Amino acid sequence: MKKLISIIFLGLITIGLLWAQPDIGIFRKQIIIDRIEEPFINPLMATVYIEEKGVGTGVILTEDGYILTAAHIVEDSSVVSIYLSLFPTHEYKAQLIYKEDLFDLAILKMETDLILPTIKWGSSKEVKIANEVFLVGHPYRFGWTVSRGIVSSLRFDDYGIAYIQTDASAHPGNSGGGLFNDKGEFIGLFSFIYVRLGYFGSTSLNVGWASASDIIKVISGGIIQVHRLMIENLRRVN
């Protein structure tokens, strides 16, 4: 799996150099391309950078621009600036349509006519301790990153798994990013990390938590359906 991460970054950043290696044949090239495209290219494409009072990450839920992120990023902002990984220099506006502090999630509706790539849903009930996971985000404004870790712990409520703990490297800006399994499926929305405060600032302890995808899927599905009905009713009235 270490090779897989290396391939991801080589593929996204210096794929021209990778292809220039004389000992890589056509068959080998095809394997590398396949591994870049699946399972990790889709989560990267379906990630957004959010800049408001702070900075954070979001994931694209629907082709028409419903975005999922962490509630603490947007706070009470009604309109949020976002940047697609596809078009990192172009600013888009998104309206906050829902915020849930209990699970630290927010849903935005992006203003665009584009048909967007979306995440692939995975089931958090299938997550086990020690499973390998990948965190996609935008830490410290440095650009799109993928960090690898394992599931360290699970927290349950009356409905099943509520939170997933991971040791995947995370920093400010990762909040609202997707936690993915080794199939590239979305299994959690990254929410917060534990840090150690020191003289020179804070240090991440690689103890992070993500809200489980099964709960998020139920909540977001209902909110998006209601919002679409409201928009349709407004169009009929007007």
Whichever domain contains 92, its CATH number is 2.40.10.10
| Domain assignment present for 37 | yes
Catalytic residue chosen out of the listed positions 104, 169, 211, 220? 104
| The pLDDT value given to residue 233 | 84
Do residue 25 and residue 81 come from a single domain? no
Do residue 187 and residue 149 come from a single domain? yes
Our CA angle for 24, 28, 30, nearest 5°, is 125
| Domain assignment present for 229 | no
* Confidence check: pLDDT of 7 > 60: no
- The confidence band for 17, taking pLDDT boundaries of 50, 70 and 90, is very low
Do residue 209 and residue 181 come from a single domain? yes
Known catalytic membership, residue 124: no
| The pLDDT value given to residue 173 | 82
Do residue 170 and residue 203 come from a single domain? yes
- The confidence band for 98, taking pLDDT boundaries of 50, 70 and 90, is very high
| The pLDDT value given to residue 43 | 72
Q: What is the pTM of this model?
A: 0.76
pLDDT tens digits, residue range 52-89? 666 789 999 999 999 999 998 888 788 888 888 777 78
Q: Report how far residue 213's alpha carbon sits from residue 220's, in angstroms, rounded to the nearest whole number.
A: 10
* Confidence check: pLDDT of 223 > 70: yes
Do residue 194 and residue 127 come from a single domain? yes
Range of the domain at 85: 47-118
| The pLDDT value given to residue 235 | 78
Per DSSP (E only), the strands in the chain are: 47-51, 55-60, 66-69, 79-84, 92-100, 105-110, 120-121, 132-137, 145-157, 160-166, 178-180, 185-198, 201-212
Do residue 68 and residue 101 come from a single domain? yes
Provide the mean pLDDT of the chain: 77
What is the tally of structural domains in the chain? 3
| Domain assignment present for 235 | no
Known catalytic membership, residue 104: yes
| Domain assignment present for 236 | no
Known catalytic membership, residue 182: no
Do residue 145 and residue 62 come from a single domain? no
Do residue 110 and residue 126 come from a single domain? no
Measured over the CA atoms of residue 85, residue 87, residue 91 and residue 97, the dihedral's sign is negative
- The confidence band for 212, taking pLDDT boundaries of 50, 70 and 90, is very high
Catalytic residue chosen out of the listed positions 72, 124, 147, 171? 72
Do residue 134 and residue 176 come from a single domain? yes
